Amino acid sequence: MKSIFSLTTMFLAGVGLTTANPVPAPQADTTAPGPYHISGFFASKAHLSSYCRFEFNVSAPSLPDPVTCSAYLDTGFSGATWLAYVYEGAGNCNSGAVTWTFWHPRGAETDRNDAVFNVTVDGEKGTYIVPKEDIIVNLNDVNNPFDNDVFYGGPREFDIVEFPAE
Ligand SMILES: *[C@@H]1O[C@H](CO)[C@@H](O)[C@H](O)[C@H]1NC(C)=O
Ligand SMILES: *[C@@H]1O[C@H](CO)[C@@H](O)[C@H](O)[C@H]1NC(C)=O
């Protein structure tokens, strides 16, 4: 009997200690962190240039204010029929809580690919597939293979609702 009593006392003491300490808010494991709302989405490679400019604003439940992001990156050559690869760390935002990537696989004008736009807010990555139909390629001059425009022509405002588990 004595040993059982001691164990009970220890157990109760443990419970008392736990409740006396600040308890962290429970993590919403099953709830998606988004949606992340994107507005003003712009991505364009101007003709006769190999450089791409990206711009957008993002708002998310965990962000107190909308965050503005941009990038200016080289596609490799002015005849590109794809948008530049924004690798992790290459995009800028005016908040350290947000990072992003944009990957448009290379493809000929007649054989284009969807792009993948990832936005990470407070460590939670959301993924948005940009349909290939939303990326416009203009071969401006059939005699000049370096004179191509590539730009995003889809909706400038959309929600990111896919949050891949990693
Ligand atoms: C982002 O939001 C700011 C502030 O409202 C605005 O001035 C800017 O034009 C927006 N950027 C884009 C790409 O829409
Ligand atoms: C974007 O996220 C997807 C899904 O997690 C991942 O497969 C892909 O590699 C990411 N893209 C980049 C450029 O990191």
**What's the pLDDT band for 22 if we cut at 50, 70, 90?**
low
- pTM listed for this prediction: 0.81
Q: What domain count does the chain have?
A: 1
Q: Report the separation in Å between the CA atom of 113 and the middle of ligand 1, taken as the mean of its atom positions.
A: 28
Quick check: CB of 57 below 6 Å from ligand 1?
yes
- pLDDT score recorded for residue 32: 77
Which pLDDT tens digit goes with each residue over 37-91?
Answer: 999 999 999 888 999 999 999 999 999 999 999 999 999 888 889 999 999 999 9
**What's the pLDDT band for 117 if we cut at 50, 70, 90?**
very high
Q: Report the separation in Å between the CA atom of 40 and the middle of ligand 1, taken as the mean of its atom positions.
A: 7
Average of per-residue pLDDT values in the chain: 85
In a domain, 83, yes or no: yes
Domain that holds residue 121: 35-160
**What's the pLDDT band for 14 if we cut at 50, 70, 90?**
very low
In a domain, 21, yes or no: no
In a domain, 25, yes or no: no
Quick check: CB of 59 below 6 Å from ligand 1?
no
Quick check: CB of 118 below 6 Å from ligand 2?
yes
Alpha-carbon distance of 29 to 58, in angstroms, equals: 23
